[in-house]
């Protein structure tokens, strides 16, 4: 197993991530460890890559909720995805300027009880009717404490109305640099200027990491403790209390669709996290407080201490870090194989191998028949 590029501290975190991965046991049935619903979209490529990453990582059922015209295309990509053409749009309602958004959202909301996590944003588009319906779905998911990931146009909803997610700590935002800037502006947060290049190797990189970490922490705090993955040369992850920088190297080409692999991976990890906290299997850990960690020191203790049961706040941070790391490893492996020709589909094929290399199957899994 090729792990020479992984630091000791990262290996410690991967050992913790493995704690929330359900073992493959004969007593588990279909749906026991469901992953995300690739929610609400108009376009076809991004949701496919997101939902397939979720499936490749190991979710039992990956749903795609889409606009009617997108359904045949997505179905043609893979028979493994469950596609539901129930997303309203301006083209499918009689009067787009006067709609009953809660009623239109009803068929999607009816599915929520079957899902462990939502992914909102990849391929969503900016149709006004669609966005109003998604707004209602997010409110209902939040009222039921269903975790969700927001990316792309899903982040636009937050920039326009931060109260949609403010204070909801079962939420992960995955902005790139431009999306992060829009969110910061909406919350009135000044972003630091990049550190000037220094002749000493690595010094400007460290300065920029520190500045980005502080900006990410401030934005997470301004949103009431949501978890943010600020994508970049290094991914910065913060919930406002504790922050982590991923040191897993990625590929040298930033292909379109890499963020979709991230959101899909996060969807599966969120579902596994729910199973961990529901005690679906014996994790071998000692009892510990199950409330949110209250300080950076408490989070660090949970991340670094073996055989200690982790709080929901800590496991959410681990989900974000694990999803980021797996995606970066997918990029590294795909670029190593394809070089400049690397495409989003090449990352999809690296998801399972990246998981096995970085995290590995938990003890007790029945991986051989």
Does 287 belong to an annotated binding site?
Answer: no
Domain that holds residue 191: 8-358
CATH (domain of 169): 3.40.1190.20
Does 234 belong to an annotated binding site?
Answer: yes
Does 100 belong to an annotated binding site?
Answer: no
Does 264 belong to an annotated binding site?
Answer: no
Does 123 belong to an annotated binding site?
Answer: yes
Does 257 belong to an annotated binding site?
Answer: yes
How confident is residue 38, by pLDDT bands cut at 50, 70 and 90? Answer: very low
CB atoms within 10 A of CB 143: 9
Contacts of 167 (CB under 8 A, 6+ apart): 223, 224, 225
Does 58 belong to an annotated binding site?
Answer: no
- Domain-embedded: residue 51: yes
Does 360 belong to an annotated binding site?
Answer: no
How confident is residue 244, by pLDDT bands cut at 50, 70 and 90? Answer: very high
- Domain-embedded: residue 163: yes
Question: Cα 86 from chain centroid?
Answer: 23
Does 69 belong to an annotated binding site?
Answer: no
pTM for the full predicted model = 0.91
Report the side by side order of strands in the sheet with 148-150.
82-87, 63-67, 36-39, 117-120, 148-150, 171-173, 227-230, 236-238, 243-245
Which is higher by pLDDT, 261 or 38? 261
- Domain-embedded: residue 363: no
Does 178 belong to an annotated binding site?
Answer: yes
Task: Give the CA radius of gyration of the chain.
Answer: 20
Does 259 belong to an annotated binding site?
Answer: yes
- Domain-embedded: residue 368: no
**Encoded tokens for 240:** 């406002």
Does 279 belong to an annotated binding site?
Answer: no
Does 117 belong to an annotated binding site?
Answer: no
Asked if residues 192 and 211 have their Cβ atoms less than 8 Å apart, the reply is yes
DSSP letters, 265-303, are HHHHHHHHHHHHHTT-S---PBP---SPP-SHHHHHHHH
How many structural domains compose the chain? 1
Minimum mean pLDDT range among 17-21, 262-266, 316-320: 17-21
Does 282 belong to an annotated binding site?
Answer: no
pLDDT tens per residue, range 299-340: 878 887 877 789 999 999 999 999 999 999 999 999 999 999
- The winner for highest mean pLDDT among 10-24, 43-57, 246-260, 320-334 is 320-334
pLDDT of residue 84: 93
pLDDT of residue 283: 76
Tell me what the pLDDT averaged over the chain comes to. 87
Does 260 belong to an annotated binding site?
Answer: yes
- Domain-embedded: residue 217: yes
pLDDT tens per residue, range 130-149: 999 999 999 999 999 999 99
Closest by CA position to 296, among listed 277, 274, 311, 276: 311
pLDDT at 231 over 60: yes
Asked if residues 344 and 255 have their Cβ atoms less than 8 Å apart, the reply is yes
pLDDT at 121 over 80: yes
Closest by CA position to 122, among listed 149, 151, 99: 151
What's the CA gap between 196 and 190, in Å, rounded? 18
Does 179 belong to an annotated binding site?
Answer: yes
pLDDT tens per residue, range 146-204: 999 999 999 999 999 999 999 999 999 999 999 999 999 999 998 877 655 555 555 55
pLDDT of residue 285: 80
236-238 vs 243-245, strand pairing mode? antiparallel
Which is higher by pLDDT, 234 or 366? 234
The percentage of residues in the chain with a pLDDT greater than 90, rounded to a whole number, is 63
Does 180 belong to an annotated binding site?
Answer: yes
Closest by CA position to 152, among listed 182, 132, 187, 128: 182
Does 235 belong to an annotated binding site?
Answer: yes
What's the CA gap between 297 and 242, in Å, rounded? 8
- Domain-embedded: residue 24: yes
Closest by CA position to 146, among listed 125, 127, 184, 120: 120
- Domain-embedded: residue 189: yes
- Domain-embedded: residue 364: no
């Amino acid at each position: 197993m090729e792990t020479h590029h992984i630091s000791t501290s990262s290996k410690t975190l991967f050992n913790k991530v493995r704690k929330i991965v359900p073992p493959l046991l004969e007593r588990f049935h279909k749906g026991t460890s469901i992953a995300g619903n690739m929610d609400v979209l108009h376009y076809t490529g991004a949701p496919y890559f997101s939902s397939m990453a979720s499936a490749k990582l190991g979710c039992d059922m990956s749903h795609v909720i889409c606009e009617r015209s997108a359904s045949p295309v997505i179905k043609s990509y893979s028979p493994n995805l469950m596609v539901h053409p129930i997303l309203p749009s301006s083209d499918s309602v009689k009067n787009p300027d006067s709609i009953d958004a809660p009623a239109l959202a009803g068929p999607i909301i009816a599915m929520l009880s079957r899902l462990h996590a939502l992914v909102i944003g990849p391929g969503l588009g900016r149709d006004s009717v669609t966005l109003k319906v998604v707004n209602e779905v997010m409110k209902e998911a939040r009222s039921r404490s269903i975790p969700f990931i927001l990316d792309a146009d899903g982040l636009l909803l937050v920039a326009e109305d931060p109260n949609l997610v403010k204070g909801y700590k079962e939420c992960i935002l995955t902005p790139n640099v431009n999306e992060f800037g829009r969110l910061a502006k909406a919350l009135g947060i000044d972003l630091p200027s990049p550190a000037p290049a220094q002749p000493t190797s690595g010094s400007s990189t460290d300065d920029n990491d520190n500045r980005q970490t502080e900006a990410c922490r401030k934005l997470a705090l301004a949103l009431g403790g949501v978890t943010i993955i600020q994508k970049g040369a290094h991914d910065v992850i913060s919930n406002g209390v504790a922050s982590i920088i991923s040191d897993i190297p990625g590929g040298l080409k930033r292909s379109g669709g890499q963020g979709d692999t991230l959101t899909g991976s996060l969807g599966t990890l969120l579902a596994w996290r729910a199973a961990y906290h529901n005690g679906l299997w014996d994790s071998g850990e000692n009892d510990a407080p199950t409330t949110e960690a209250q300080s950076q020191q408490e989070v660090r203790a949970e991340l670094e201490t073996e055989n200690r049961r982790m709080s929901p706040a800590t496991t959410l941070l681990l989900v974000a870090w694990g999803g980021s790391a797996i995606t970066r490893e997918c990029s590294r492996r795909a670029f190593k194989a394809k070089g400049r020709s690397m495409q989003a589909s090449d990352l999809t094929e690296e998801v399972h191998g990246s998981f096995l290399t970085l995290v590995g199957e938990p003890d007790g899994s029945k991986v051989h028949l």
